A = this chain, B = another copy of it.
Amino acid sequence: MTEAAERKRGRGGGGAARRAARTAVSIDCAPVIQRGIPNMEMLSEEALEIIETNAETVLEEIGVNFVNNPAALERWREAGADVRGERVHIPRGLARKLCKTAPGSFTQLARNPERSVEIGGKGLVLAPVYGPPFVRDLDGGRRYATMEDFRKFVKLGYMSKWLHHSGGTVCEPTDVPVNKRHLDMLHAHMTLSDKPFMGSVTEPSRAEDCVEMCKILFGEEVATSQPVMTSLININSPLTFDDVMMGALEVYASNMQACIVSPFIVGGAMAPVSTVGTLTQVLAEVLAGVAYSQLIRPGAPVIFGAFVTSIDMNSGAPTFGTPEASQILYGAGQLARRLGLPFRSGGGLCGSKLPDAQAAYETSNTLNAALLGGVNFMLHACGWLEGGLVSSFEKFVLDADQLGVLHRLAAGVSHDEEAQAMDAIREVGPGGHYLGCGHTQRHFQSAFWRSDVLDNKPFETWSEEGARDSQQLASLRVQKLLDTYQQPAMAPEKAEELAAFVARRKAEMPDAFA
């Protein structure tokens, strides 16, 4: 039987009711993914042990630099490290021992308690793209991001069922002074969404502003003793911890706020051109960074991060969705689990300039590796384009839709009596078909994951509707989501207090644009 003929067999029945159900505004949010499937253990035990041994050698022999940070050097000295200038040589075993006070998993609270997320274990929390200075959409093309764009992305994230987290710098609002952006950004996350969010890391004082705003939103006691932000602390690879990022980490860790300690590596430039060599450096860097967080405050929640791209050795451009990047992701996940820490990597990474086939191949390669590689916190899960230079509206909803695939795949396979479906096989028999049988009727609405944006209509229908490609379909969905967006409620006095804080802090500072 051809697929065309098969399609006809499946048509009809209850279409109007289902269409009505689909047009209702949905602000459902799926629970955090809990894997019912094993992780993919790609590297051998032997390889992992070599990496762990070599990482200790790196820390002891070569050491790491803590730049412009005398207090950090003093903390390391007191902990038993051999500090020479800004170079910290960490005796074999010390960093790993210090990491032991970091929790294996933790809960980040959201202002809507139903949206709080557990990060670690078998879980996977999905957060949107972070950092791009540009945005792109079908109508407006590529342009510098504004605060209005930022707000739209927060709204889209709030409306995305498969996204658990509102993220942080979903794009850089370049129309707001650089020293005030963090206030508007955090305010947008706090008021336009009720999902958990990330804090600013671009200056320690901005991290402090974020803590202050969280005190308003969550109360002072909660905001200094329980994670209400998870923030991204990039390591300046190779082996360098700068004072800005460490300063932000110090603010957050001392308030029990979560940090992702994340080497940022373009392979072949900031790390060796081999998977095991790169993983060795990643592990050394994470060990040092996480250990340092525990010197600030034992028990502060941290995530083992790894952002590693491969590189086009011809042009020097970073490349994404490549086999080397996947191998490193899988290996880093194994190392994180052996260390007992939550793991951050992956996302909808791609190098393409457009939300086209290249973007989707690269994205899917990364999303699949992240799911199977045991990632617990996935930044850039949707909306990332052009190597992180661009936040794409269309790609945001396309990727967010694919996150539904991860949810279903992670759930694993039921084998209870109903799932065995022997009654259906008996009822239908050789040569029959299943569409009408009792088992199918009981399960057809939930049996298969369904895309909210991709087109599975017959060719003729699709042609009549304008032969739209994925980008065009996504553009329609962006508009629909923004049109139906409704702001989640917040107590008026809290909203006023937040707005007043932002206004006051902005008034206290002159504008700065660099």
| Interface residue A355 (Cβ < 8 Å from any Cβ of B) | yes
A372-B372, A408-B323, A444-B273 given; A10·B364 CB < 8 A: no
B42 and A268: CB pair below 8 A?
A: no
A64-B430, A353-B462, A419-B276 given; A6·B409 CB < 8 A: no
| Interface residue A101 (Cβ < 8 Å from any Cβ of B) | no
In angstroms, how far is the closest chain B Cβ from the Cβ of A223? 31
Q: Hey, which chain B residues are within 8 Å of A470, CB to CB?
A: 352, 354, 356-359
Name A387's contact: one of B3, B314, B319, B418 (CB within 8 Å). Answer: B3
A41-65 interface with B by 8 A CB criterion: 41-44, 46-47, 50-51, 54, 57-58, 61-65
A42-B412, A426-B61 given; A280·B420 CB < 8 A: yes
In angstroms, how far is the closest chain B Cβ from the Cβ of A210? 23
A413 and B270: CB pair below 8 A?
A: no
Q: Looking at A268, A361, A443, which has the most chain B CB atoms within 10 Å of its CB?
A: A361
| Interface residue A447 (Cβ < 8 Å from any Cβ of B) | yes
Count of chain copies: 2
Interface hit among A179-187, A236-244, A479-487? A236-244
Cβ contacts A237-273/B at 8 Å (1 or 0 each): 0111000000000000000000000001011111111
Interface hit among A145-153, A290-298, A434-442? A434-442
A54-B422, A363-B361, A425-B281 given; A7·B402 CB < 8 A: no
| Interface residue A365 (Cβ < 8 Å from any Cβ of B) | yes
Q: Hey, which chain B residues are within 8 Å of A40, CB to CB?
A: 38, 40, 372
A357-B357, A398-B361 given; A3·B388 CB < 8 A: yes
Q: Hey, which chain B residues are within 8 Å of A216, CB to CB?
A: none
Number of residues of chain A lying within 8 A (CB) of chain B: 145
Q: Hey, which chain B residues are within 8 Å of A15, CB to CB?
A: 314
B63 and A439: CB pair below 8 A?
A: no
A137-168 interface with B by 8 A CB criterion: 142
| Interface residue A123 (Cβ < 8 Å from any Cβ of B) | no
The closest CB in chain B to the CB of A61 belongs to: B426
Tell me, in angstroms, the Cα distance from A54 to B419 when the chains sit together. 12
| Interface residue A316 (Cβ < 8 Å from any Cβ of B) | yes
| Interface residue A324 (Cβ < 8 Å from any Cβ of B) | yes
The 8 closest A-B pairs by CB, nearest first: A10-B316, A277-B421, A364-B364, A360-B360, A323-B408, A272-B421, A273-B447, A239-B430
Residues of A within 8 A of B (CB): 1-4, 6-12, 15, 18, 37-38, 40-44, 46-47, 50-51, 54, 57-58, 61-65, 87, 142, 236, 238-240, 264, 266-278, 280-281, 309-319, 321-324, 326-327, 331, 351-365, 368-369, 372, 386-389, 395, 398, 402, 405-409, 412-415, 418-422, 424-426, 428-435, 439-440, 443-445, 447-451, 454-459, 462, 467, 469-471, 473-474
